[in-house]
Amino acid sequence: PPAPLTPALSPGQAFTELQAKVMDTQQKVKLADLQIEQLTKTKKHAHLTDTEVMMLVDETRMYEGVGRMFILQPKGVIHNQLLEKQRIAEEKIKELEQKKSYLERSVKEAEDNIREMLMARRAQ
C-alpha cells in the first residue's frame, strides 16, 4: 500500500506547528497593514496634487518627472495620470484588505485549535 501523504504529528508537534502558523500569519497581517498605510498615503498625495493642478490655468506649463529628466505634458495628461494613480492605489488597498481579512480569520481558527488542544491536555 502507498505511504500516507503526511506523517502523523504528535500533539506537541501539532501544537508547535500551530503556534508557528499563528505567528507567521500575524506577521503577514502586520505587513498588509503597512502596505495599506503606504498606499493610502500615495492615494492622498495624488489627490492633493491633482487638486492643486486643477486650480491652475490650462496654459500652465507642466512637467512630468521621468527618470532624471522632465517631459513637458499638457494639464489633461497630468490630471489623468494622477487619477489613474489614485485608482490603482484604491484597487490594491481593496485587495490587501480582503487578504488581511482572510489572514485574520486564519489566525482566529489556529488560535481556536490551540485552545482546544490545551483544553484536551488539561482534561487528560
Tens-place pLDDT, residues 16-73: 888 888 899 999 999 999 999 999 999 999 999 999 999 999 999 999 999 999 999 9
Global pTM value: 0.77
Domain 12-114 in CATH 1.10.287.370? The answer is yes
User: Is-contact 36 96, C-beta < 8 A?
Assistant: yes
What is the residue extent of each domain of the chain?
A: 12-114
Confidence of residue 79 (pLDDT cuts 50, 70, 90): very high
Which residues, other chains included, contact 107 with Cβ-Cβ below 8 Å and sequence gap of 6+?
A: 22, 25, 26, 29
Decide which of 60 and 119 is more confident: 60
Residue 37: which residues within 8 A CB-CB, separation 6 or more? Answer: none
The pLDDT of residue 3 = 47
